[in-house]
Structure 1
Amino acid sequence: MGAYFVRKLIEAAAVCVAVSIIAFLLVQSTGDLAVAMGGLDASAEDTARLREVYGLDQSFVQQYLSWAGRVLHGDLGQSYFSQEDVLTLILERLPVTATLSVASLLLGLLISIPAGVYCAMKPDGWFDRSCLGLSVLGQAMPSYWVGLLLILLFGVTFRILPISGTQSAASYVMPSLTLAWFVFPVFLRLSRAGMIDVLSSDYIRTARAKGLSERTVLFKHALRNAILPVVSVATVQFGFLLGGSIVVESVFSLNGIGLLAWSAIQRSDYPVVQAVVLIVAIIFVLLNVVSDLLNAALDPRLTSEQ
């Protein structure tokens, strides 16, 4: 298990380095940053001064190494727009995005796993077909459209939930439902397929032949093995929720890193965009490591196979 853990950490470190290069390259490829910072009215002298001040007159390798060195010391630069420290801006907004992502993930799991288990117990029944139909709708409906429908229903028509801001826990209800609707189809299909596969295995038939109750068979023997792919995908989905909350945060005016990134893109605030991409990507990589370790803890055979 120790060697497996070290190997995963080395792989994660290599991916993080690659991600940092890509994040830096993406911003550099958007065009001349000095011209973007100076604006259309900037003179050639002003543009040249900006290149010198921000090191944009150096080679790509020099610029990357200088930026990476500052990042390793916790310096993500300053916002071009507000002149505030980028790391401070992100840390102020990250709790909102993290709260929204955790609430959405838990809500999606609490709904989809029991539904998937019940569907597997009675496949092709009316409940199974209804859930599969809902999962197709969940994949087909864009999150911003679902959010707007919820605002129209609960915020405008019935006026029982706030439509924007983060003043109370109620402000997270509609955004969480929106993102939970996005992850519901994935978890439902995984839990349903896993349970159907496990329930047809020999050891489940043996457990039933021993006279164990159906509840014991389902939750003590079947669910543990069926839940493995759900655990793996749940951590990855959490990373997607962190990065994909930009649309939902914009719809509901939640002051998280998604809205911060959207505002930075509109203002060409490249240090903020670069930092958000880098941090979200690193979190996503670390979540993949956590996913692998959880799977290894649940199924020790995974460590012996690698």
Structure 2
Amino acid sequence: MIAYIVKRLGLALLVALAVSALAFFLIRLSGDVATAIAGEGARQEDLDIIRQTYGLDRPLVVQYLSWLWQTLRGDFGTSIYFKTDVSSLVLAKLPVTLLLGLTSLLFALVISIPLGVLAAVYSNSWIDRLALGVAVVGQALPNFFFALCLVMLFSITLRWLPVSGSSTWLHFVMPTIALGYYVAPAFMRLIRAGMIEVLSADYIRTARAKGLPARTVIFKHALRNAVVPVVALTAVQLGFLLGGSVVIETIFALDGLGYLAYQSITYKDFPVMQVIVLLLSVIYVLLTLASDIANAWLDPRIRVA
């Protein structure tokens, strides 16, 4: 088990390093940092001074290695637009995004697990078709359009929920539904497929032959084994929710990392963009690593392989 964890940890570090390099070079290619600092109407002499001051006249590889060394030391630079330390700015916005991601994931699991179990137990019935229909709609409906529909219904028509802000729990209701419903179909289909496979196993038939109640067979014996693949998907989807919250946070003006990323893109705040991409990538890699370790702990066959 320790050898497996060390191997996965090394792979995770390599992935994080590759993502940081890719993000750095792509952000640099998207625009000129000196122009973003000095403004569009700056003179060439001023641009040259800025490039020399910030080391932007050096090769990109040298700039990346310098940025990586400063990042490893905890120096994330200063925001061009907000004129403040990037690390404190990002850490101040992170709790909102984490809360939105966790509540969206919880909402997705709450609606997908019962639907997946019902679809498997009543396979090929109208309940199964209804559950699959809900999954298809959730997967096909863009989350930004669904979010706007929620705003029209609950904020403008019914006036039950606030449109924007993040000061109370009511501000998170619509963003949670919009973001969670988009990832729920993946959980539902995985649970349905796993339950159908497990319900046809020999030990399930044996449990039924012993006269165990249907609820015990389904939830204690079948669901416990069918839910193992969900662990890996949960980590992946949580990373997706954190990284994919840019649009939802922008629509509802939630003061989180997603809205900060939108602002940094709008104002070409390159230091903030780099740190947000790096942070979300590292979180995604760590979640994937945690899911691999959890699966290895739950399934001994993975450790043996």
CA distance in 2, matches of 1:209, 1:52: 79
Tell me how many residue pairs correspond in the alignment: 305
CA distance in 2, matches of 1:151, 1:283: 30
Partner of residue 201, structure 2: 201
Query: Identity across aligned pairs (percent)?
Result: 51
**Which AA in structure 2 matches 1:214?**
A
Over residues 225-282 of structure 1, what are the superposed CA-to-partner deviations in whole Å (9 max), with x where a residue is unaligned? Answer: 2112211111100000000000000111101000000011011111111111110011
Give the secondary structure class of the aligned counterpart of 1:56: coil
Partner of residue 162, structure 1: 162
Give the secondary structure class of the aligned counterpart of 1:124: coil
TM-score, normalised via structure 2 length: 0.97
**Which AA in structure 2 matches 1:10?**
G
Q: What's the CA shift for 1:35? A: 2.5
**Which AA in structure 2 matches 1:53?**
T
User: What does residue range 131-150 of structure 1 map to in structure 2 within 5 Å?
Assistant: 131-150=131-150
Over residues 3-36 of structure 1, what are the superposed CA-to-partner deviations in whole Å (9 max), with x where a residue is unaligned? Answer: 1111111111111111111111111212332123
Contact 2:36 2:269 in 1 (8 A): no
Q: What's the CA shift for 1:76? A: 1.3
Partner of residue 42, structure 1: 42
User: What does residue range 1-306 of structure 1 map to in structure 2 within 5 Å?
Assistant: 1-305=1-305
Give the secondary structure class of the aligned counterpart of 1:161: coil
Contact 2:147 2:175 in 1 (8 A): yes
Give the secondary structure class of the aligned counterpart of 2:241: helix
CA distance in 1, matches of 2:248, 2:24: 26
Q: What's the CA shift for 1:300? A: 1.7
Give the secondary structure class of the aligned counterpart of 2:285: helix
Give the secondary structure class of the aligned counterpart of 1:198: helix
Structure 2: where are the runs of 5+ without partners?
none
Over residues 170-203 of structure 1, what are the superposed CA-to-partner deviations in whole Å (9 max), with x where a residue is unaligned? Answer: 1100100001110111111011111001111112
Tell me whether 293-302 or 138-147 shows the greater mean CA deviation: 293-302
CA distance in 2, matches of 1:14, 1:292: 16
Q: What's the CA shift for 1:213? A: 2.1
Q: What's the CA shift for 1:61? A: 2.0
CA distance in 1, matches of 2:61, 2:158: 57
TM-score, normalised via structure 1 length: 0.97
The 4+ residue runs of structure 1 with deviation greater than 3 A are none
Tell me whether 203-212 or 123-132 shows the greater mean CA deviation: 203-212
CA distance in 2, matches of 1:219, 1:302: 24
Q: What's the CA shift for 1:118? A: 1.1
Give the secondary structure class of the aligned counterpart of 2:244: helix
Tell me whether 27-36 or 108-117 shows the greater mean CA deviation: 27-36
